[in-house]
Amino acid sequence: MKNYPDSDEVIKNRIQRFCVYQERCSRDVEMRLNGWKVTPGKMKKFITELKEENFLDDLRFARLFVHGKLSIKHWGRKKITFELKMKGITGKIITLALDDIDETQYLEVLTSLIMKKIKEIKAGKNLNKREKLINFALGKGFEFDLILQTLNHLNI
C-alpha cells in the first residue's frame, strides 16, 4: 500500500470510497488506515466519523457477511462465527447477525451439501461413508447434532 502524506480531507474521501465500494467492518478500515500510516488518534476520529455518517456499520457488515457465506460459500454457523471473530466483530453483533438465518434455508444448505458429497464418495463401508460426510459438514462449520439429524433423516 502507498504511504499517503495527504490532508485529512483527502484521506477521509479515500476511506469513504473504500467503504462505499464494498461493505467493510471497523477492522478492515483500521488496517487500511494503518497501511496509509495514519496516526492512531486520527484513525479513531475517521472511524467515528464513518460510523456517524453511516459509511461503516459492523452490524450491517455482519448481516451481509452471514448471508453471503451461507448462500454462496455454504458455510455453517460455527465457521461464520469464527471468521467474524477474526474480523474483530463482537459476540453481541455476531449473535444478532446469526439470528437472521432462516432455519429452513440453513437445513436446505446442509442437506444439499450432504447430497452433493454423497455422489463424490466412492462406494465402500457405510460407516466410513457416514464418517466422511460428518467430517465434511463439520469442516464447513455446521453443528454436529444438526449433521447427525440430517444424516438420520436422509437414512445415511
Mean of pLDDT values over 66-82: 96
Are 90 and 110 in a shared domain?
Answer: no
Contact in structure between 138 and 147 (CB atoms under 8 Å): yes
Give yes or no: residues 109 and 149 share one domain. yes
Q: Are residues 39 and 68 in the same domain?
A: no
pLDDT of 1 reads: 44
**pTM across the whole model:** 0.87
> How many beta carbons lie within 10 A of that of residue 126, not counting itself?
9
Domain count, the chain: 3
Residues 88 and 113 in one domain: no
Verify that 125 and 138 share a domain, yes or no: yes
Q: Which residue has the higher pLDDT, 33 or 125?
A: 33
Identify the domain containing residue 39 by its residue range.
8-52
Is 2 a domain residue?
no
Which of 35, 27, 30 shows the shortest CA–CA distance to 84?
A: 27
Q: What are 98-135's pLDDT values in tens digits?
A: 999 999 999 999 999 999 998 888 766 555 888 899 99
User: What is d(CA 118, CA 132) in angstroms, rounded to the nearest whole number?
Assistant: 9
The pLDDT of residue 156 is 78
**pLDDT score of 127:** 59
The answer to whether position 3 is within a domain reads: no
Q: Per the domain annotation, does 109 fall within a domain?
A: yes
Task: Evaluate whether 33 touches 43 at the Cβ level (below 8 Å).
Answer: yes
Q: Do 45 and 70 fall within a single domain? A: no
Q: Is residue 1 part of a domain?
A: no
* Percentage, residues of the chain above pLDDT 90: 79
Do 110 and 148 belong to one domain? Answer: yes
- pLDDT tens for 18-27 read 999 999 999 9
In a domain, 44, yes or no: yes
Clarify whether residues 41 and 16 are in a common domain.
yes
Reading the block at residue 35, the C-alpha cell is 497501511
